[in-house]
């Protein structure tokens, strides 16, 4: 493990956890079994990320487009999220994890909204890893909501449109106060953003792996971080 110490650790890692359905199908299991296995993996990867020194982990759990899936699958996914919100407090307390849900939660069932609020409230002073869970999240929808809010502030005379900076916009997003991801990982062989953090990922390094999310391990995370270490981040400038 000495090797890890020499690695440059990205401060913020974002993950598009993909391939749960295919993982299950390959084993002759219902898709929902892939999701429940995937949920276990997230908890393990959160711990691994924390141990590696990653400060923020953001995972895509449910997109604004995922409502178009069969009703039973949507319910199964919501129930997994429900279970997580209800049972993870002791672990978050023990590991000093701070939870934030990003996305439009107003469309979620009231009891789920309540347990999200409760978990966020009870972990908000934790000083360890920041764990963002994207639920009913879509980047375009997030930007739309931010623009609406800023437009209202301008209309009310509390914001001069000429004073809108990139920072103003960042601060109006669900990820306000969280540094942009340095590394994006997408599993299961797909290489697209699927409406995830489009503003925030402007300069992230992208890492794609064929591994399906339920098979993703600490070793896969380390491989992604290793790949990140071989990238040269230029931000449009030149390397000396």
Which residues of this chain interact with ligand IPE, rule CB under 6 A?
A: 16-22, 60-63, 66, 77, 188, 190, 192, 194
Indicate the residue among 16 and 99 with the shorter CB distance to ligand IPE: 16
Could you tell me if 129 and 42 are in contact, meaning their C-beta atoms sit under 8 angstroms apart? Answer: no
Indicate the residue among 66 and 170 with the shorter CB distance to Mg ion: 66
Q: For 53-103, where are the alpha helices, taking DSSP H only?
A: 71-87, 89-95
Residue 129 interface partner, choices ligand IPE, Mg ion, none, CB cut-off 5-8 Å depending on type: none
Residue with tokens 């000429």: 162
Indicate the residue among 19 and 130 with the shorter CB distance to Mg ion: 19
Q: Which residues from 100-159 bind Mg ion, rule CB under 5 A?
A: none
Q: Smallest gap, in angstroms, from Cβ of residue 84 to Mg ion?
A: 19
- The burial class, CB within 10 Å (0-12 / 13-18 / 19+), for 199 is middle
Q: Smallest gap, in angstroms, from Cβ of residue 63 to Mg ion?
A: 9
Residue 16 interface partner, choices ligand IPE, Mg ion, none, CB cut-off 5-8 Å depending on type: ligand IPE
DSSP string across 133-198: EEEEE-HHHHHHHHHHHHHHHHHTTS--GGG--HHHHHHHSTTTTSPPPSEEEE-TT--S-TTSST
Packing angle between helix 71-87 and helix 110-123, nearest 10 degrees?
A: 30
Q: What are φ and ψ of residue 175, in 5° steps? A: -90, 15
SS3 217: coil
Q: Which residue is nearest to ligand IPE (CB)?
A: 21
Q: Smallest gap, in angstroms, from Cβ of residue 136 to ligand IPE?
A: 10
Residue 111 interface partner, choices ligand IPE, Mg ion, none, CB cut-off 5-8 Å depending on type: none
Could you tell me if 23 and 206 are in contact, meaning their C-beta atoms sit under 8 angstroms apart? Answer: no
Active-site residue list: 18, 66
Indicate the residue among 190 and 210 with the shorter CB distance to ligand IPE: 190
One of 18, 141, 182, 220 touching Mg ion (CB under 5 A) = 18
Residues that bind Mg ion (CB under 5 A): 18
């Amino acid at each position: 493990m000495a090797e890890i110490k020499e690695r440059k650790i990205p401060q913020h890692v974002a993950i598009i956890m993909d391939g749960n359905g295919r993982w299950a199908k390959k084993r002759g299991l219902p898709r929902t079994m892939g999701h429940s296995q995937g949920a276990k993996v997230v908890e393990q990867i959160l711990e691994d990320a924390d141990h590696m020194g990653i400060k923020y982990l953001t995972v895509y759990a449910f997109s604004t487009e995922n409502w178009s899936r069969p009703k039973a699958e949507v319910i199964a996914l919501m129930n997994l999220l429900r279970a997580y919100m209800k049972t993870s407090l002791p672990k978050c307390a023990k590991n000093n994890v701070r939870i934030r849900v990003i996305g439009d939660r107003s469309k979620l069932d009231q009891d789920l909204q309540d347990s999200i609020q409760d978990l966020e409230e009870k972990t908000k002073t934790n000083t360890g890893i920041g764990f963002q869970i994207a639920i009913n999240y879509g980047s375009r929808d997030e930007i739309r909501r931010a623009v609406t809010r800023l437009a209202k502030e301008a209309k009310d005379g509390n914001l001069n449109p000429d004073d809108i900076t990139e920072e103003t916009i960042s601060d109006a997003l669900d990820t306000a106060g969280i540094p942009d991801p340095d590394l994006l990982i997408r599993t299961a062989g797909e290489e697209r953003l699927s409406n995830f953090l489009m503003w925030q990922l402007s300069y992230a390094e992208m890492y794609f792996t064929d591994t399906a999310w339920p098979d993703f391990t600490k070793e896969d995370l380390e491989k992604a971080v290793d790949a990140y270490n071989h990238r040269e981040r230029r931000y449009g400038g030149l390397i000396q």
